[in-house]
Amino acid sequence: MRAETTRRQRQRRLLVIRRVPMYALLCLVSLAFIGPILWMLSGSLKSTNEILRYPPTIVPEHVQWSNYLLVFVNQPYLLQFLNSVAVMAGVCAITLVLSVPAGYALSKVRPRGGSAIFLLLLSGIFIPPEATIVPLYRMADALGWLDSLTPVIVFTAVLTTAPIATFLMRQAFLVLPTEFQEAATLDGSGRLRTMLQVYLPLTRPSIAAAVVLSCWYSWNQFLEPLVYLRSQEHLTVSVALTRYLDYNGEPTWGIQMAATTLSLLPVLLVFVFAQRHVVAGLTAGGLKS
Q: Are 225 and 152 in contact (CB under 8 A)?
A: yes
Residue 186 has pLDDT above 80, yes or no: no
Return the sign of the alpha-carbon dihedral for residues 60, 66, 71, 74. Answer: negative
The radius of gyration of the chain from alpha carbons, rounded to an integer in Å, stands at: 25
Q: What is the mean pLDDT of the chain?
A: 84
**Does the predicted TM-score (pTM) go above 0.85?**
no
Instruction: Please report which confidence band the pLDDT of residue 95 belongs to, taking 50, 70 and 90 as the band edges.
Output: very high
Instruction: Please report which confidence band the pLDDT of residue 286 belongs to, taking 50, 70 and 90 as the band edges.
Output: very low
Residue 3 has pLDDT above 80, yes or no: no
Residue 280 has pLDDT above 60, yes or no: no
pLDDT digits (tens, 9 = 90+) for 207-249: 888 888 898 899 989 999 999 998 888 999 999 998 888 777 7
Cβ neighbours of residue 246 closer than 8 Å, sequence gap 6 or more: 252
- Residue 188: helix, strand or coil by DSSP? coil
**According to the per-residue pLDDT averaged within each range, which of 18-32, 170-184, 206-220 is highest?**
206-220
pLDDT digits (tens, 9 = 90+) for 120-166: 877 777 888 888 899 999 999 999 999 999 999 999 999 889 998 99
Give CA separation, 174 vs 11, 120, 196, 226, 289, in Å. Answer: 45, 19, 16, 39, 7
Residue 181 has pLDDT above 80, yes or no: no
> Residues 29-47: what's their mean pLDDT?
85
Instruction: Please report which confidence band the pLDDT of residue 64 belongs to, taking 50, 70 and 90 as the band edges.
Output: confident
Instruction: Please report which confidence band the pLDDT of residue 285 belongs to, taking 50, 70 and 90 as the band edges.
Output: very low
What is the predicted pLDDT for the residue at 279?
61
Residue 289 has pLDDT above 50, yes or no: no
What is the predicted pLDDT for the residue at 4?
62
> Residues 3-23: what's their mean pLDDT?
73
> Residues 19-40: what's their mean pLDDT?
82
Please give the distance of CA 23 from its chain centroid, rounded to a whole number.
Answer: 28
> Residues 70-81: what's their mean pLDDT?
91
> Residues 28-32: what's their mean pLDDT?
81
> Residues 6-13: what's their mean pLDDT?
72
Residue 274 has pLDDT above 90, yes or no: no
What is the predicted pLDDT for the residue at 281?
52
Instruction: Please report which confidence band the pLDDT of residue 283 belongs to, taking 50, 70 and 90 as the band edges.
Output: low
> Residues 69-86: what's their mean pLDDT?
92
Higher pLDDT, 92 or 118: 92
Share of the chain above pLDDT 70, in %: 93
End-to-end CA distance of the chain: 53
Q: Which domains occur in the chain, in start order? A: 2-66 (no CATH), 67-284 (1.10.3720.10)
What is the predicted pLDDT for the residue at 190?
78
